[in-house]
Amino acid sequence: MSKESLENLILLAKTCMRIQEDIDMESKIGDFPQWNSLSHVEFILEIEKVYSLRISPLEIHKLTSIREIWLFLEKQKAS
C-alpha cells in the first residue's frame, strides 16, 4: 500500500473512532480512550466494507494496531 493508502487507513481509524489526536503506525487499541474493544470491532467492520474483504475472528484478535492492520491489508492486496 502506498503512503496515501496508509493515510487513508489512519483517517478511517480517526473518523470511525472519533479520535482527534494524532495516530501513527504504532498506534494501537488502548492508546486512546475512544479505541476500545467495541470501537475496534466497528473499525474492523468499516475496514471490511471499505476494502471489500472479510476478516476472520482469529485475524481480528491479531489486528490490534495500525501497523498490524496495514500489513494485513498489504498481504491481502498481494494475494
Domains of the chain by residue range: 3-78
Query: Which cell is 61 given?
Result: 484478535
CATH topology of domain 3-78: 1.10.1200
pTM greater than 0.75 (yes/no): yes
Q: What was the pLDDT predicted at 78?
A: 83
Q: What's the rounded Cα separation, in Å, for the pair 67 and 72?
A: 9
Q: What's the rounded Cα separation, in Å, for the pair 43 and 41?
A: 5
Q: pLDDT tens, position by position, for the chain (79 residues)?
A: 577 789 999 999 999 999 999 999 999 999 999 999 999 999 999 999 999 999 999 999 999 999 999 999 999 988 7
- pLDDT tens-digit series, residues 41-53: 999 999 999 999 9
Could you tell me if 48 and 55 are in contact, meaning their C-beta atoms sit under 8 angstroms apart?
A: yes
Whose cell is 472479510? That residue is 54
